[in-house]
Amino acid sequence: MKGSMTVEASLIFPFCFVVIGIVCILGIYQYNQAVLKMTGYESILQTMEERKEEEGQFKELLLKRAEQAAKDRTFGLEEIKVSLKMSSTKISLSYEGSQSIIKVPMRVTVVYERIYPELTLRVLRDVGGE
């Protein structure tokens, strides 16, 4: 009976550590998704406030701002790539990267409606949980 506690502890503690590790990794993954989504919207809105008239300047500034903000705010993401698609009604900003710990690919796309910006604000409120 004296060694039974040691045997039980040697089985339970590793299981608990694995569960805690999985929860932490999933939390970091969810955090990065939320940060990339909000970073994309903020980058689009800040760039639109500057009112760059030429489309080339707008695209270049938006890509730089979005990539820098993503690198500054995310945790454990490697090789962040930003792509941009623009049309007369939508601005679509996509982030691609992979988690450095478990090498899980991540792709987040942000769509801003130019004609009906209240749709974007409604989406932001739904994502934020308000």
Q: Tens digit of pLDDT for each residue in 49-101?
A: 876 666 678 888 889 999 999 989 888 888 889 999 988 788 899 999 888 87
What token pair was written down for 8?
């039980």
The pLDDT value recorded for residue 130 is 41
Task: Collect all residues with Cβ–Cβ distance below 8 Å to 87 and sequence separation of at least 6.
Answer: none
Cα separation, 57 vs 20, whole angstroms: 46
**Per-position DSSP letters for 70-106, written without gaps between them:** HHHH-SSEEEEEEEEEE-SSEEEEEEEEEETTT--EE
Total domains in the fold of the chain = 1
Structural domain for 20, as ranges: 4-128
Q: Tens digit of pLDDT for each residue in 9-32?
A: 888 999 999 999 999 988 988 999
**pTM for this predicted structure:** 0.75
